Amino acid sequence: QKEVEQDPGPLSVPEGAIVSLNCTYSNSAFQYFMWYRQYSRKGPELLMYTYSSGNKEDGRFTAQVDKSSKYISLFIRDSQPSDSATYLCAMMNTGFQKLVFGTGTRLLVSP
Amino acid sequence: GAGVSQSPSNKVTEKGKDVELRCDPISGHTALYWYRQSLGQGLEFLIYFQGNSAPDKSGLPSDRFSAERTGGSVSTLTIQRTQQEDSAVYLCASSHLRGQGVNEKLFFGSGTQLSVL
């Protein structure tokens, strides 16, 4: 079993829809949770960062962490065609220097 | 430069040949990472540098893989006697190590697409 599980998709939605992306994990020591966005033929870029449990909002994006369920989510409101990309969750223990990534979910937002 | 630079962007090689992949991190970033991304596999950690030393090289798949970093800047990932299963995108990332030792923000390059025929 992988440490981090993520549905690869693709997830296809119409423009304006609310998108929900999710990851589950098995390592209860993870404390730092991130979402990266990766466009085709580009490297991932950090989108959202959350420490421990709770919510964080940034514009149209909301990240949620539920440590009791070992479940994290990224919500995108009013989705745009420019949001079409692969979204990777990533997480890390305190004191460790490497991120453990999910496989990524490919999102397609149609006009 | 403004971002992490990797070269070449594409590399096609024959099975059994050696390849070198280069990474120029963001100036001043002390931490440097190599990841490998294969279809459907996500990002696989290979090695981490802090300055010129590699405290964690646990992700290197075999002794055919090696990496070095000089002057606390440029890093080279070398794959000897390449195999077809080495075909993947090799991504480099850098970050500025924070005081408490947690790097949550990695800046990635665009990667090198390696194809082994």
Q: DSSP letters along A45-70, please?
A: EEEEEEESSEEEEETTEEEEEETTTT
**A44, B102: Cβ pair inside 8 Å?**
no
Q: For residues A88, B4, A96 and A21, what is the CA-based torsion angle, rounded to 10 degrees? A: -10
Q: Which of B42, B104, B105 sits opposite A88 (nearest CB)?
A: B42
| Percent over 70 (pLDDT), chain B | 92
Residue A96 vs residues A5, A32, B60, B98: alpha-carbon distances, Å: 20, 10, 17, 13
pLDDT (0 to 100) of residue A51: 84
Is residue B36's pLDDT more than 60?
yes
Q: How many residues does chain B have?
A: 117
In the predicted model, what is the mean pLDDT of residues B75-87? 97
Give chain A's mean pLDDT. Answer: 92
CA distance A2 to chain B (A): 10
